[in-house]
């Protein structure tokens, strides 16, 4: 009997060992069936998004994506996107002009694989300029070192697009000749797609010039009607009026910092300050004298700055925590200043009449001191001006070009190059994606 039982036990053990290459897998199957790490094959940046592609892994249920702006991203530190079921994925909602780093894991019923190789992608950032000569927008991507690459396509606006503003997803122009706003969605590669519901009226006989965007609100300074039109940005970039605010005589330009809006009145020679409410409505804060013929206004952490093209100077104001202003000083510029931009602790003014750019260091209390080497040569009839980090751009109205510069550690400008906006375009005002 014992011999028979031993024989049966031996047969069972033989069958068991033949069935299992590793007998321990009966008790620890995950030692064999965790999925292997996937391999990312490409990551391509676009406008506010990146497309990640990888080689499929057999026998998995899904993939988890991890991403970060840090090159040291791990599955513990990256933002996780679970449950991806194909071998390509478009991650949206990314910041413009930013490098992201990606990892991937494969997931099956047992668990998650080790992390894949790392891939990076840089989203694009675009620059847009209104062309008064052709009633169009010229669009460019901003490359390494501040160079500009034209974006193909023709983007028509209304008549005399005197102002432009941009968010990550939308672009708006104020059309002086049509009393309205043209609206565009920024599509793949930075191509502008006209909003089918537009254009959006600013009112009869308003002649909008300046335009600015803050979060979900857009505002225009209406030169002919002496007021400010406010709009709420809706789905797809559509605009819905949220009210008209009385301004002054010949309001020209708008600058926004935080929850405060500042608007310059050309004929009255002053700046009006407003608080932006939760619904976008404007509440007056104060009126501040500047002198007449104010052509442009800029605002930043260091204060509010305006230029007068008749007296060829720049005026400074310090800004309190409640948005109110206190007059600072008056400083000379080149001939007929038209545009103004703040970049950190530096201020730049485009001088239409002398074809150059005045550069200043912003000191305590908004005081200005000329940067060594200022003024810096621009193109013919420089008009609108805008900054992005260490780069500065000016639209040369008479040369149909944009001049690009790097901003040095001392605020000095070094030319990057000159980029065409097209024949007879007469570029006017510049906006850069935030």
- The confidence score (pLDDT) of residue 215 equals 94
- The confidence score (pLDDT) of residue 68 equals 98
- The confidence score (pLDDT) of residue 19 equals 44
Phi first, then psi, for residue 359 (nearest 5°) are: -125, 140
316-353 in b/e form (b: 16+ CB < 10 A) is bbbbeeebebeebeebebbebbbbbbbbeebbbbbbbe
pLDDT in tens, the chain (434 residues): 444 444 444 444 444 444 444 444 444 444 468 999 999 999 999 999 999 999 999 999 999 999 999 999 999 999 999 999 999 999 999 999 999 999 999 999 999 999 999 999 999 999 999 999 999 999 999 998 999 999 988 799 999 999 999 999 999 999 999 999 999 999 999 999 999 899 999 999 999 999 999 999 999 999 999 999 999 999 999 999 999 999 989 999 999 999 999 999 988 999 999 999 999 999 999 999 998 888 899 999 889 999 998 899 999 999 999 999 999 999 999 999 999 999 999 999 999 999 999 999 999 988 999 999 999 999 999 999 999 999 999 999 999 999 999 999 999 999 999 999 999 999 999 999 99
Q: Per CATH, which fold does 126-432 belong to?
A: Methylamine Dehydrogenase; Chain H (2.130.10)
Inter-residue contact 252 to 210 (CB < 8 Å): yes
Q: Per CATH, which fold does 30-122 belong to?
A: Immunoglobulin-like (2.60.40)
- Torsional sign, CA 235, 241, 243, 244: positive
Task: Give the C-alpha separation, 298 to 307, whole Å.
Answer: 9
Task: Give the C-alpha separation, 151 to 405, whole Å.
Answer: 20
**Residues 128, 134, 139, CA angle at the centre, nearest 5°?**
20
The tokens of 214 are what? 């803050």
What residue spans define the domains of the chain? 30-122, 126-432
Strand partners, 427: 131
Pairing of strands 88-91, 50-55: antiparallel
Spell out the residues 6+ positions from residue 249 whose beta carbon is closer than 8 angstroms to its own: 226, 265, 266, 267, 268
- The confidence score (pLDDT) of residue 32 equals 61
Strand partners, 66: 80, 103
Q: Do you know the residue count of the chain?
A: 434
Task: Give the C-alpha separation, 312 to 293, whole Å.
Answer: 10
Nearest in space to 226 (alpha carbons), one of 255, 261, 265: 265
Strand partners, 415: 405
């Amino acid at each position: 009997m014992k011999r028979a039982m031993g024989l049966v036990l031996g047969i069972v053990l033989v069958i068991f060992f033949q069935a299992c290459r590793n007998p321990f897998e009966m008790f620890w199957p995950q030692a064999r069936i965790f999925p292997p790490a996937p391999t990312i094959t490409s990551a391509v940046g676009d406008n506010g998004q990146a497309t990640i592609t990888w080689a499929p892994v057999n026998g998995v249920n899904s993939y988890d994506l991890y991403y970060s702006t840090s090159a040291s991203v791990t599955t513990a530190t990256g933002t996780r996107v679970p449950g991806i079921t194909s071998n390509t994925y478009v991650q949206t909602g990314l910041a413009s002009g930013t490098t992201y780093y990606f990892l991937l894991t494969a997931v099956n019923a047992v668990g998650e694989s080790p992390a894949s190789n790392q891939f990076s992608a840089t989203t694009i950032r675009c620059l847009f300029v209104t062309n008064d000569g052709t009633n169009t927008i010229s669009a460019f991507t901003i490359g390494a070192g501040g160079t500009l690459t034209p974006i193909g396509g023709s983007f028509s606006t209304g008549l005399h697009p005197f102002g432009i503003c941009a968010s990550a997803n939308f672009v708006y122009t104020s059309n002086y000749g049509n009393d309205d706003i043209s609206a565009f969605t920024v599509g793949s590669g930075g191509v502008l797609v006209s909003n089918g519901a537009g254009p959006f009226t600013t009112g009869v006989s308003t002649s909008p010039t300046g335009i600015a965007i803050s979060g979900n609100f857009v505002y225009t300074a209406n030169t002919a009607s002496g007021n400010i039109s406010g709009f709420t940005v809706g789905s797809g970039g559509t605009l819905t009026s949220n009210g008209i605010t009385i301004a002054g005589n010949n309001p020209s330009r708008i600058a926004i910092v935080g929850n405060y809006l500042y608007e310059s009145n050309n004929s009255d020679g002053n700046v009006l300050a407003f608080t932006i409410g939760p619904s976008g409505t404007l509440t007056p804060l104060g009126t501040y004298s500047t002198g007449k013929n104010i052509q442009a206004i800029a605002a930043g952490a260091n204060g509010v700055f305006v230029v007068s093209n008749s007296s060829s100077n720049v005026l400074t104001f310090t800004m309190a925590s409640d948005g109110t202003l206190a007059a600072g000083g008056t400083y000379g510029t080149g001939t007929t200043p038209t545009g103004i931009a703040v970049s950190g602790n530096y201020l730049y003014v485009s001088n239409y009449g002398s074809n150059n750019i005045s550069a200043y260091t912003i000191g305590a209390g908004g005081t200005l001191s000329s940067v060594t080497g200022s003024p810096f040569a621009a193109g013919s009839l420089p008009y609108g001006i805008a900054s992005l980090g260490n780069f500065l751009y000016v639209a040369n109205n008479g040369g149909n070009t944009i001049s690009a510069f790097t901003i040095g550690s001392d605020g000095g400008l070094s030319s990057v190059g000159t980029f065409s906006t097209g024949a007879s375009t007469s570029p006017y005002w510049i906006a850069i994606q935030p």
